[in-house]
Structures are given as structure tokens and as C-alpha cells.
């Protein structure tokens, strides 16, 4: 196990939790306000982040892209946040125990691929950062000004201070 990937897994959990805490302090209606962008709402963006974490974890663990629990999700916001947190923790557990040099073989749109698990892991972390940034922009457009930092360097500083 490479320590940097474990650091990124811990960072991912920390950043997701910070965003979740900020969103949980707002009225639920902001999650469904429609925007023009990659995804139409904050809720849809969060579902997409969770979808990617779930799908890639499933693919690395058993070779399948299993995301039914996300695609069919219709429960309230608190349940969504808890399920996403749980998936992020499971992703970290995978990073701690898996051989990240293991080649994951899969088919996508009729093509065969073989990609090291470490590249998939890094993709998930980059993907989450990208979409958390989109959520922050959506929140700012709605007038939310108190938004926690979720940048990696902020996590690194907090880690050095002993706060994470």
C-alpha cells in the first residue's frame, strides 16, 4: 500500500465530510435548485460523485460496475449523506488493503481495458475534487458565503496541526 494513496483517501473523506456539513446546515431546498451546468442540481452532483465512488469501488473489488443503489436512490438528504460517507470509508478500506498495482480488466462500450487499480483510485479522488468545486460554485450562486475549505493543501495543514 502506498501511503500517498491512503493520504488521498483520508483527504477525500475529510473534504466530503466538510462539504456535507456545510450543506447540512442549509435549507434542504438548495439541494434541488436548478442550475445550468454539468448537473442540474447540487443533489444530482452529489449523487454523481457517490455514483463514481460506488462504481469504481465495485469494479475494483469484483470486476462489475454495480451502481443500482445510487441510480435507484430516492431517500432523503441525511440518508444520502450517510450512504456517501459509508462508501468513502469503504473506498479507503480498499486502498488500505488492496494491491494497487493490480491490473483491473473490464469492458466498456465494447472495448477491453486493463488499468492498474492505483489509476482508478486516483481518478476517483480527482473526480471528487472537481465536482466538490462545482458544488461550492452552486452554493456561492445561491448566496451561501460560509463554505469550508476542501483543498488538499488545507487538509495537509490540518493534518500537520494534528486536527485530522
Going by the DSSP 8-state scheme, the letter that residue 103 receives in this structure is: E
**pLDDT tens, 4-33?**
999 999 999 999 999 999 999 999 899 999
Q: CB–CB of 100/89 below 8 Å? A: no
143: left (phi over 0), alpha (psi -120 to 50) or beta: left
- Helix or strand or coil: residue 111? strand
Range of 98's domain? Answer: 3-161
> Residue 126 maps to which CATH number?
1.20.120.450
Domains contained in the chain, number: 1
pTM: 0.94
Distance CA 120, CA 104 (A): 9
127 is annotated as contributing to ligand binding: yes
**pLDDT tens, 101-112?**
999 999 989 999
108 is annotated as contributing to ligand binding: no
Amino acid at each position: 500500500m502506498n501511503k500517498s494513496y491512503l493520504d488521498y483517501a483520508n483527504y477525500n473523506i475529510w473534504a466530503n465530510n466538510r462539504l456535507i456539513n456545510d450543506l447540512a446546515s442549509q435549507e434542504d431546498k438548495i439541494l434541488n435548485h436548478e442550475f445550468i451546468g454539468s448537473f442540474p442540481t447540487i443533489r444530482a452532483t452529489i449523487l454523481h460523485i457517490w455514483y463514481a465512488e460506488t462504481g469504481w469501488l465495485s469494479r475494483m473489488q469484483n470486476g462489475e460496475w454495480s451502481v443500482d443503489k445510487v441510480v435507484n436512490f430516492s431517500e432523503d438528504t441525511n440518508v444520502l449523506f450517510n450512504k456517501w460517507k459509508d462508501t468513502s470509508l469503504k473506498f479507503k478500506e480498499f486502498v488500505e488493503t488492496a494491491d494497487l498495482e493490480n491490473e483491473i480488466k473490464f469492458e466498456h462500450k465494447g472495448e477491453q481495458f486493463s488499468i492498474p487499480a492505483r489509476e482508478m483510485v486516483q481518478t476517483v479522488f480527482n473526480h471528487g475534487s472537481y465536482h466538490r468545486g462545482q458544488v461550492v460554485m452552486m452554493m456561492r450562486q445561491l448566496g451561501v458565503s460560509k463554505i469550508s475549505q476542501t483543498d488538499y493543501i488545507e487538509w495537509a495543514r490540518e493534518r500537520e496541526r494534528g486536527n485530522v
